[in-house]
Chain A
Amino acid sequence: MTALPGAPSSDIDNQALTPQEVVRRAIETYYSNIQTGVRVLVARAGLAEGYASIAEMSDEVFQYTIETALKIAPRFDPSHQAQSWLLGIAANKIKEIRRKNTREADHIQSVEGEDAQNESSGSDGDIEDYTTEERIDAAIYHSAHGDSLEDSSPLLNELLSLVDDNDRRILTLAYVDLLSGVELAATLGIREGAAYVRVARAKEHLRKKYLVAIGRKEL
């Protein structure tokens, strides 16, 4: 039995379904998740401000997403995750609207600059970012052998001393105590998604502090 991607197998059985049917069912199943995702993307892209404006713009993007998804459904690979596929359509539409808005605001030059910046961050910048990230990962993972910080090497403590108390707590729980997203969420009394966001932000803060630190001395 092949279940609809991401959905509990007991809920939906998409065996022998056409791609169109899989997409249609995915829209029904993930309706609320996709709507939330579109709202968040619209807000983060800066297309609208305030609950009402964001909701209005999101409804427009959401409607486009559904219409487009149903139109191109025959090209959808049923073994793929429909939810991310649908959000990808929405993200592309949001990019298009943002580009159009920026052009209308007569800021073409600044957009080109931004695009060039993005492109460059996709080359040299990313290499530097990922190298730094891998160095941090290696430092954290190599250091975090024991159950407590007492067992870890001075390098880990030195790395963690770069960030503030909140980030240090999060990173300790994630990389020293090796808590999963669900466990971290339970420990902090927050939702799973919020736990992932906090870990990612704490790691990003560490990466930036680390870059500053290695500018001054080698850790």
Chain B
Amino acid sequence: MTKQPNSTALLEKSIIRYVRAMDTSNLDEITAVLQIAETDAALDRIISEINSAYADELGLSPVSAQSAQVRSLLQAHFPSAFTETDEVPQLTVSQVTARLVAERLVPPTDQETSQKLLHAHIPLPAWLSLPEIRKLSQQLKVTVSDRFLKVFRDTAIQMSMGRGQAQMAATRRKNTRQSSQPGDRHNEENHDAK
């Protein structure tokens, strides 16, 4: 990628600059990147996408505001529907394979092997690179195609990212509940002091 066109490198640099400026609330930098975007259609479009992502993240898009309201109502009226656990169990080979089978992503040549993998309740390695996944398949003594390995790796990453977010949300909920306990005088006193 050192040989990438200057425009691509500049685009990437501007994107990183914009996100960094947003995360640090640096309006001078934001304005500077917007000025670059005025003459760069690709950057202009990507900034719009990034703004939408921030709106989702900050709960500012209409959909995220509505879903937050629904979630809070559900938590208030159906607390039993929400689990208390902070720890999300580790992802296993069988779970990823089940997703691949359900979404019909298993290549025809790997159909038989995938049926075996559905019973492999073995945790996935922490680093989901292709070599690690290949190593895992060797440990399991199964032969699968490169295409299967790649789609397995991609799906595993997707599922583990979702779990990471679920775990963070669970921790946030727990912290919020703890800080709003009626007996928590410390918080109330702090609040009164303000």
Identify the A interface with B (CB < 8 A).
Answer: 5-6, 30, 33, 36-37, 39-41, 43-46, 51, 54-55, 80-81, 83-85, 87-88, 91-92, 94-95, 98, 118, 122, 133, 137-138, 140-142, 144, 147-150, 165-166, 168-169, 172-173, 175, 178, 181, 187-194, 196-197, 199-201, 203-204
Docked complex Cα distance between A41 and B10 (Å): 23
Does A201 contact B19, Cβ atoms closer than 8 Å? yes
Judge whether B25 and A45 touch: CB under 8 Å.
yes
Q: Whose C-beta in chain B lies nearest to the C-beta of A173?
A: B157
By beta carbon, the residue of chain A nearest B3 is A141
| Contact A191–B53 (Cβ < 8 Å) | yes
For the complex formed, measure the closest distance between the CB of B156 and the CB atoms of chain A, giving whole angstroms: 10
Bound together, the chains give a CA A168 to CA B4 distance in angstroms of 22
CB within 8 Å for A197 and B127 given contacts A81-B41, A203-B16, A204-B16:
no
Q: Smallest CB–CB gap between B11 and chain A, Å?
A: 10
Contact between A187 and B44 (Cβ–Cβ < 8 Å)? no
Q: How far is the CA of A187 from the CA of B54 in the complex (A)?
A: 20
| CB contact under 8 A between A118 and B48, given known A187-B154, A197-B54 | no
Closest Cβ–Cβ distance, residue B164 to chain A (whole Å): 6
Choose one: B38, B54, B56, B130; the contact of A81 (CB below 8 Å): B38
When distances are taken between beta carbons in the complex, the residues of chain B under 8 Å from A142 are 2
Residue numbers in B under 8 Å from A33 (CB-CB): 48, 51-52
Q: Are B49 and A83 in touch, CB under 8 angstroms?
A: no
Q: A45-B25, A88-B38 are in contact. Are A36 and B51 (CB under 8 A)?
A: yes
Give the contact-size bracket for chain B. Answer: 35 or more
B79: Cβ under 8 A from any A Cβ? no
Assembled-state Cα–Cα distance A51/B69 (Å): 11
A-B contacts besides A36-B55, A91-B27, A200-B15, 4 pairs, CB < 8 Å: A87-B51, A188-B161, A194-B57, A200-B16
Which listed residue, B45, B50, B60, B131, touches A149 by the CB 8 Å rule? B131
B1-52 interface with A by 8 A CB criterion: 1-2, 4, 9, 13, 15-16, 18-20, 22-23, 25-28, 30-31, 34-35, 37-41, 43-52
Bound: A177/B59 CA distance, A: 31
Within 8 A of A (CB), among B102-134: 126-131
Inter-chain contacts of A141 with B (CB < 8 A): 1-2, 4
Q: Is the CB of A172 within 8 A of B15?
A: no
Please name all residues of chain B whose beta carbon is closer than 8 Å to the beta carbon of A137 when the two chains form the complex.
9
Enumerate chain A residues within 8 angstroms of B50, measured Cβ to Cβ: 193, 196-197
Distance (Å) between the CB of B161 and the closest chain A CB? 6
Is the C-beta of B162 less than 8 angstroms from some C-beta in chain A?
A: yes
Q: Which of A36, A88, A178, A191 contacts B35 (CB 8 A)?
A: A88
